[in-house]
Copies of this chain bind each other. A is one copy, B any other.
Amino acid sequence: MEPVALPLGRPREERADAARNRAHLIDVARRMVAELGADKVTMDGLAERAGLGKGTVFRRFRTRAGIFLALLDEEEKHFQQRLLSGPPPLGPGAPAVERLVAFGRARLEFLLEHMVLARASLDPSQPVPLDESPSLFHVRMLLGEACPDVAATGPLALQLVAALEGPVLLYLQSADGPDLATAVDDLIASWQVLAERVCGVS
């Protein structure tokens, strides 16, 4: 995140420079992923190709996985927009259980589309900070609306997010395109059963 206010005495150009560097790095990283594949993109390689110092790249992304997280973040913004103001049942206006089912379908399709980035952005030594997960926020909100009796049960929303994202992130093989699409279709159907059962509507 960019700072919202500049510390005293820091020249304005520095902030603009940082934003330009970020946009430039994201752009170069995206091209490197497309050309070389995510597994060939390194911090050093990115710094060299972007013509920036290694320190700049390190401060920006912290870890190699952070590069892919930043790329995915750009796509996440579009996805979040559909949840906030897109047409129902993904967007507002449908009953909460229907929105939960629609969210699962859309999220699985999103992960299928961005599978390489999503997996490359995982860093088991630096787990996903829960308070920064928009998926968790959304599922918790819908669960609270759809089934307040179970929604208060500790980390149930987190377990549902893991049920939704875990199979794609951790278990599915990525080798075969058509097989993968079928597997994701099966996950979408299965998610509907899971969400409806948890909310007691089936």
Residues on A close to B: CB < 8 A? Answer: 39, 119-120, 122, 124-125, 127-130, 133, 150, 153-156, 158-167, 169-174, 183, 186-187, 189-191, 193-194, 197-198, 200
Contact = CB atoms under 8 A, between A and B. Distances in A.
Given A124-B122, A197-B150, A197-B198, A183 B155 contact: yes
Which of A129, A159, A160 gathers the greatest number of chain B CB atoms within 10 Å?
A159
Interface of A is mostly: helix
B190 A155 contact: yes
Given A171-B162, A198-B198, A153 B39 contact: no
Contacts of A124: 119-120, 122, 169-170
Contacts of A171: 127-128, 130, 133, 158, 161-162
